[in-house]
Amino acid sequence: METAKKTLKILLPLVLGGAILYWMYRDFNFQQMGRVMMHEMDWTWMLLSFPFGILAQALRGWRWQQTLEPVDKRPRNSVAVNAVFLSYAASLVVPRIGEFTRCGVLKKWDGLSFAKALGTVVTERAIDSLLVLLITGLTILFEMSTFGTFFRQTGMSVDYILHGFSWAGYLVSAVCLVAIAVLLHLLLQHLSIYNKVKTTLKGLWQGIISLRHVRHVWLFVAMTLGIWLCYFLHYYLTFFCFDFTRHLGLGCALVTFIVGSIAVIVPTPNGAGPWHFAVKTMLILYGVQDNEALYFVLIVHTVQTLLVALLGVWAWIRLGFVERKKECAVEGEKRKEEGQ
């Protein structure tokens, strides 16, 4: 029974993302996409986007150190950053497992409390969500007409809700409901692993309120803004890889970036499927041809996902050469005894 649950948690997101991708690319000419990648795409801009993707995750690791310091002890730079790298790669296999993975890395290598570390992750997610909501609100104000068209075409306008969804509206709504259900299920499953529920909840609360005690609040704010600026540049620079997107401008990039960021809430590996659908739909509203939009979302998402996977492999190898705190302490004691 337990094995079946674990298998379901891995397979369900894959099936969900795969079903959406199949629906989108069922009549797609993949040979033509190969020609675009080999002869029509400027890879220089893709390579230039990589440092921003790496820096965004590194900043997340450095910011995490700040939130951990008031509730436990400050982890080492290499451990915190590589824990973040590894967490994103782990989420490619099992969505949302990354938050637990990086807390486990800190516990294993630096001896930090898992519950307190998880609480600080909740803090980070809350701050990031507030920032995304703020950016989304400002973007909607400036691009109201485009969002209105998007909601009408996906069956999510108020009129459609009152008079019945379109088939696309039903699809999007179903995906969102499944995402919420799976996310809650995974969270409860992982928390139930730990028998000391009271201790865990206390640690979570300490992590959540840790932001009050961060020593350099302005540095925390700057890092938070830096993370999302890097994420945006990591995405925006890919527009210049293709003739059909390089002229679209910052407005389109910001709208598609926000819509894509919201779409990845759906628990599929790196948002595969929902991200493709949301970004492709918005690009079409900005005048990009259907096939060209499909090229863009598939190539960009695939390449950036490969980068996440490579960073995870790097982190796994790098952590293998990092001494664990307990091992360091034992080694120190041995040296003292030898000195005596």
Q: What is the per-residue pLDDT for 202?
A: 56
Residues sharing a CB contact under 8 Å with residue 164, sequence separation 6 or more, in sequence order: none
Q: If you count them, how many residues does the chain have?
A: 340
Answer whether 207's CB lies under 8 Å from 67's CB.
Answer: yes
Low-confidence ranges of the chain (pLDDT < 70): 1-10, 143-212, 326-340
Residues sharing a CB contact under 8 Å with residue 57, sequence separation 6 or more, in sequence order: 81, 84, 85, 88, 311
Residue carrying the six token digits 């980068």? 307
Q: What is the per-residue pLDDT for 169?
A: 55
Domain boundaries, the chain: 12-317
Residue 321 carries which DSSP code? T
Q: What is the per-residue pLDDT for 36?
A: 85
The Cα-based distances of 98 to 78, 92, 167, 312, 340 in angstroms read: 17, 9, 33, 11, 45
Q: What is the per-residue pLDDT for 71?
A: 77
Counts of helices then strands in the chain (DSSP H, E) = 15, 0
